[in-house]
Structure 1
Amino acid sequence: MSMSQQRPMGSIFELEFPQSVGIYSSYADAQKAVDFLADEKFEVQNLAIVGTELKSVERVLGRRTWSTVLLAGVQSGVSTGLLVAVVILIFLKPANFLLLLLVAMVIGIALAMAFGALGYAATRGKRDFTSVTQTVATKYEVLCEHKVAARAREMLLQLPGARAAAFE
């Protein structure tokens, strides 16, 4: 691709007049379709895989209580204290590293427990659990530049299992 044919960096995710050439129930299936087109020497730079019908999934990991909040503060404080002690060791070369390590960990634990307790108290029992949230697509659509979309559709009909999937 010559410099005159390259797209400006801001439009790398944009296609001109995109058309759908396939809808798949998993990202792996959409990727398999694009890989098949690549193997068949199709100009895959004309394609995009787009996750559609997004949903938010929140996985509850456990219950939050005062003991779990304070224990998390201890764990966070230990790692923060170790990090601070190592940085001070590198730059200041203290005479008594063990004392520095102990003081840094005590301060780190105290601060992390205090901030954790304040945050938990502020929720007033409205969210007594921990969780992680992820946005996931339920379908994946392969889009193609309009000028080569018909050819891509024809080629994808040769993908093993494609004809049977068309009747589902």
Structure 2
Amino acid sequence: MSSPLSKAARLGLPTPPTGWPIGSYTTYAEAQRAVDYLSDNQFPVRDVTIVGVDLMQVERVVGRLNWPRVIGGAVVSGAWIGIFIGLLIGLFTEQLWGALLTGVTFGIMFWVVMQSVQYAASRGQRDFQSTMQLVAGRYDVLCDPRTAEKGRDLLASLSGGAAH
């Protein structure tokens, strides 16, 4: 009889990681470098998992938001959407340029109205632009128990990037 975790994994459902820790790194790039090193040394990397621990949602402020920036961004976004829609319509008509011009015009108008309403509704509560990122406090490299010792030994020999 199979375990519930293996059935969940087969169904593509989220499952906790398994394995023994063979390295711990402060950045994802270091963990990725460690796994790449294992791969370069013919280690069976199918046995390896990188796990982000102590997850944090980080919002980085990239600039101030004001009416010119809102309208300018809406014009650019609306134009791109309009080009896409215009090309789709143009595929089924003989008026490709007319469809593109119409798509861009209506895309810009629609996007400017939508973004303006959204910005006005915020009433100055969020006058900045930001990007969101999910980061971890550390990145552990886990390995199947049958090959973990060999993996740990290989990572110990990795110059300048040995596991912490």
TM-score, length-scaled by structure 2: 0.74
Partner of 2:150: 151
- Identical-pair percentage: 37
Answer yes or no: is the 8 Å Cα contact 1:15–1:145 preserved in 2.
Answer: no
1:149/1:114 CA distance change after superposition, 3 Å? same
Matched, 1:124 2:123: yes
Which residues in structure 2 correspond to 1:3-152 (within 5 Å)?
8=10, 10=12, 16=18, 18-94=19-95, 101-152=100-151
1:127/1:21 CA distance change after superposition, 3 Å? same
**RMSD of the TM alignment (CA)?**
3.0
Q: Which runs of 5+ in 1 are unaligned?
A: 1-6
Q: State the SS of the aligned residue for 1:92.
A: coil
> How big is the shift at 1:115?
0.7
> How big is the shift at 1:122?
1.6
TM-score, length-scaled by structure 1: 0.73
Q: Across the two proteins, how many residue pairs are aligned to each other? A: 156
CA distance in 2, matches of 1:45, 1:70: 49
Partner of 2:4: none
Q: Which runs of 5+ in 2 are unaligned?
A: 1-8
> How big is the shift at 1:134?
0.8
Answer yes or no: is the 8 Å Cα contact 1:15–1:46 preserved in 2.
Answer: no
What letter is aligned with 1:121?
A
